[in-house]
């Protein structure tokens, strides 16, 4: 299973105006971030950690840590690569944050949305937590916790994602 694809679940309807940051000026999330660790806890009878990856284990997974760019203009781009640097999956769309609630509105490759609770650890680390459907039971009840490390502070603009196909 591709790790990045599992991060974004759920459908949404589109309206103009997404991608605006609530507060004026650059937000601490603006920049390029690399995934440092990821844990998934399944919502089963016995809550179990289904997956745990940290920097030492990324190579064993066959994947390079995902990188996500958050631009000042409210666009984001996430890329998952293999260990040889080949792109395995790319997603892009809009982001908006209000205090500690981050919402991603993915437009490519499919239209989805995902809410995260974020907490910054200084200027270089951010912890992101969300409910996802990791075990494919049709319910977003599995807890995903990731830690991202800032690689670069500025990302002013990204290409605008293509308009998605209409939802039937």
35 domain-assigned:
yes
79 domain-assigned:
yes
162 domain-assigned:
no
Query: What is the count of structural domains for the chain?
Result: 1
Q: What integer best gives the mean pLDDT of the chain? A: 77
Q: In the chain, which residues have pLDDT < 70? A: 1-26, 45-49, 155-168
Q: Which tokens in the block code for residue 153?
A: 């502070």
pTM: 0.74
pLDDT in tens, 58-99: 778 888 889 999 998 889 999 999 889 899 999 999 999 988
132 domain-assigned:
yes
pLDDT value for 13? 36
The answer for residues whose C-beta is within 8 angstroms of residue 144's C-beta and 6 or more apart is 6, 7, 38, 39, 40, 129, 130, 131, 132, 134
pLDDT value for 105? 93
**Rounded Cα–Cα distance for residues 1 and 134 (Å):** 10
Which CATH number belongs to the domain containing residue 40 in this structure? 2.40.128.20
pLDDT value for 77? 93
| 6 sits in which H/E element | helix 3-7
134 domain-assigned:
yes
pLDDT value for 3? 41
21 domain-assigned:
no
7 domain-assigned:
yes
State the residue range of the domain holding 116.
3-11+27-152
**Rounded Cα–Cα distance for residues 48 and 104 (Å):** 26
């Amino acid at each position: 299973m591709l790790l990045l694809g599992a991060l974004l679940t759920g459908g949404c309807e589109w309206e103009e105006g997404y991608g605006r940051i609530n507060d004026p000026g650059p937000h601490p999330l603006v920049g390029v971030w690399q995934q440092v660790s990821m844990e998934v806890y399944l919502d089963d009878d016995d809550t179990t950690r289904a997956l745990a990856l940290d920097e030492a284990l990324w190579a064993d997974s066959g994947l390079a840590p995902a990188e996500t760019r958050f631009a000042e203009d409210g666009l984001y781009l996430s890329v998952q690569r293999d260990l040889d640097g080949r792109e395995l999956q790319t997603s892009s769309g809009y982001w908006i944050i209000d205090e500690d609630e981050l919402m991603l509105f993915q437009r490519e490759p499919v239209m989805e949305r995902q809410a995260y609770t974020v907490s910054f650890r200084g200027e270089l680390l951010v912890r992101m937590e969300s409910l996802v459907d990791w075990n494919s039971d049709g319910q977003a009840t599995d807890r995903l916790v990731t830690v991202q490390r800032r690689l670069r502070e500025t990302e002013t603009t990204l290409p605008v994602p293509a308009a998605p196909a209409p939802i039937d």
